[in-house]
Amino acid sequence: MTVTDESAIVFSKPLAATTTAIPGLVVWDLPVHGDARGWFKENWQREKMVAAGLPDFGPVQNNISFNDAVGTTRGIHAEPWDKWVSVATGRIFGAWVDLREGPSFGAVYTTEIDPSRAIFVPRGVGNAYQTLAADTAYVYLVNDHWSPAASYTFLNLADETAAIDWPIPLSEVEISAKDLAHPRLDAVVPMPPRKTLVLGADGQLGRALRDVLGDSNVEYATRHTLDLTDPDLATAKHWRDYGTIINAAAYTAVDTAETPEGRAAAWNVNVTAVASLARIATAHDITLVHVSSDYVFDGTKTGAYLETDPISPLGIYGQTKAAGDAIVTTVPRHYILRTSWVIGEGKNFVRTMLRLAERGINPAVVNDQTGRLTFTTDLATGIQHLINTNAPYGTYNLTASGEPASWADIARMTFAAAGHDPERVSGTTTAEYFANATAAVAPRPTNSTLAIEKLTTTGFTPAAQATQLENYIRNTHA
């Protein structure tokens, strides 16, 4: 390639994007307005550029690299943040190499950039340039602050596999000794994607998420390893390293929540801590996945509850979950999963019925509350599905499919599936069941049935309640 004199800037081009062979690396034409006095451009205009398709990457720092001479060469550097790269004056030959884990690792893209062009460089894509004009100012906005503790990836400018056709041979240009010492491609450790953080990893859903998500690039936290009520939570981790937070932690003692101590604890965990997570997710462009409850409804509706139905919680627990939901909706990237009657690995209603059946106890079970079970295997798989398919953000109901049933019906199904006489289960009303209670009792919604049609339109349909219950019992020891 031959270096020529700086060409005249092309004025008044429309704002337009050109994709490249490297996923997420996009070149942009910028409108530049000029006359005999000089020129003007909007180098970064969030509203227009986001509307045109640029990711709303949230820059926090603006850097300028000024280069005196033609041929100044810098790179190839991949950082754990996104960049918006442009030229304020002069012209550069730019080279970008994908240094991320995945099938596009090692892909190369080159082009020239002058003040009328810019390029969006996603996290983990190596960036390098060579100046083609004197007094070139190279400008880049980034969405994280530089940190010595961050993970960086580098590639040698002369790597034979990338085989970048530099306009001026590297032997003739100004390069730092550090850039010359970077490894070849076969020695580069690819940059992993941003991690997923699972909160509440010791609970029923947390255990299921571990089975579904595995340990690759996923971090699991319990209340002992990460206290969500810690006032210093915002600085407890380098949050830009995380792309998704799955909040499977919650205060779920619905009856104890009606006591003074329980009320404070429920609000602290289900609202105050969630507000902290929402601030963190918003500030660092993290997808926040939050698990909610049928208790946000009062249960008086005829038919299944839609995601859009107005909330009307009856008790303290439901009120805190409703407040947490409202906070999470302020996060630009969020999924709220509304569930009912959760069953997984741990203490739950089905396991209790199995123990009673084995011990010869004939229980009286509430028959005026209706809904569907939510199996944590379905919930974990559904969460994974929404994230992996980039489903539209928002609120989704997720329970088993099939016909709704009462708690008494579920108990009889459990007895039968375990080989016991279902007629041993008798029905009773909620009022009768709690008539002699000596401790606080939370109000329960009589209708907990959640419509799941919105979820199924994304391509995920949970298995039928009866089928899942039989499978669960088959694999469970009382």
**Within 13 Å of residue 182, how many CA atoms lie on the same side as its CB?**
24
CA dihedral (270, 273, 275, 276) in degrees, to 10, reads -170
d(Cα 463, Cα 428) in Å, to the nearest integer?
A: 28
Beta bridge partners of 288: 245, 334
* Chain CA centroid to CA 110, Å: 31
Question: Which residue's structure tokens are 């640029």?
Answer: 54
Burial of 328 (0-12, 13-18, 19+ CB in 10 A): buried
Strands 370-371 vs 405-406: parallel, antiparallel or unpaired: antiparallel
Instruction: Give me 42's structure tokens.
Output: 């909007």
Distance CA 289, CA 282 (A): 12
Catalytic residue among 129, 138, 140, 335: 140
- In sign, the C-alpha dihedral spanning 182, 184, 188, 190 is positive
Question: Which of the residues 77, 109, 385, 393 is marked catalytic?
Answer: 77
Identify the DSSP state of 275.
H
Q: Are 128 and 79 in contact (CB under 8 A)?
A: no
The 3 state secondary structure assigned to 250-285 is CCCCCCHHHCHHHHHHHHHHHHHHHHHHHHHHHHCC
Pairing verdict, β 394-397 and 334-339: parallel
Q: Is 140 a catalytic residue?
A: yes
In 266-354, DSSP assigns E strands to: 287-293, 334-339, 342-343
CA distances from 436 to 57, 386, 441 (A): 57, 44, 11
SS3 content of the chain, % helix, strand, coil (to 5): 25, 25, 45
Helical packing angle, 273-283 and 316-328, nearest 10°:
10
CB 334 within 8 A of CB 458: no
Q: In terms of residues, how long is the chain? A: 478
Neighbours of 442 (CB within 10 A): 18
| Structural tokens at position 180 | 């010359």
Residue type, 325: D
CA-only gyration radius of the chain, Å:
29
Query: What kind and span of H or E run contains 207?
Result: helix 204-213
For residues 84 and 141, the answer to whether their CB atoms sit within 8 Å is: yes
Chain-centre distance for alpha carbon 213: 13
- Catalytic annotation, residues: 77, 140
